Amino acid sequence: MPSALASATHTAALSRLGHALSDPVRTGVLLALREAPAYPSDLADALGVSRQAMSNHLACLRGCGLVEAMPEGRRVWYRLADAHLAPALDELLRVVLYVEPDCCGGEGCSC
């Protein structure tokens, strides 16, 4: 595979992950699913959101290719779509960042 194509593919994949992690609920879903597969209702209860909101977040995560739905009779449970995601999330949790007090949500945010 040419390096430019690999780079574009990797950039797109990381952009999807960044989009998913930009929302606290979606981040919570990914962190929960790194522990074990779960039903949407259980995720909604654990994260304190409505089932409709959870459905929307799961649709986003499915669209980004990060989770997959697994039918089980009349119910569906979710798991991470790739086994590499759980250790990658674990590594991201080890990252320590210093955030400027006025950045990322403040009026003077320059990012």
Q: Transcribe the chain into DSSP letters.
A: --HHHHHHHHHHHHHHHHHHHTSHHHHHHHHHHHH--B-HHHHHHHHT--HHHHHHHHHHHHHTTSEEEEEETTEEEEEESSTTHHHHHHHHHH------TTSSSSTT---
Say if 11 falls within a structural domain. Answer: no
Say if 91 falls within a structural domain. Answer: no
Say if 16 falls within a structural domain. Answer: no
Is the pLDDT assigned to residue 46 strictly greater than 70? yes
User: What is the domain extent for residue 50?
Assistant: 23-83
Out of 9-13, 70-74, 84-88, which region has the weakest mean confidence (pLDDT)? Answer: 9-13
Say if 74 falls within a structural domain. Answer: yes
Structural domain count of the chain = 1
Q: What is the CATH number of the domain that holds 36?
A: 1.10.10.10
Say if 1 falls within a structural domain. Answer: no
pLDDT of amino acid 55: 97
Q: Stretch 81-92: mean pLDDT, rounded?
A: 94
Is the pLDDT assigned to residue 65 strictly greater than 90? yes
Say if 52 falls within a structural domain. Answer: yes
Say if 50 falls within a structural domain. Answer: yes
pLDDT of amino acid 110: 56
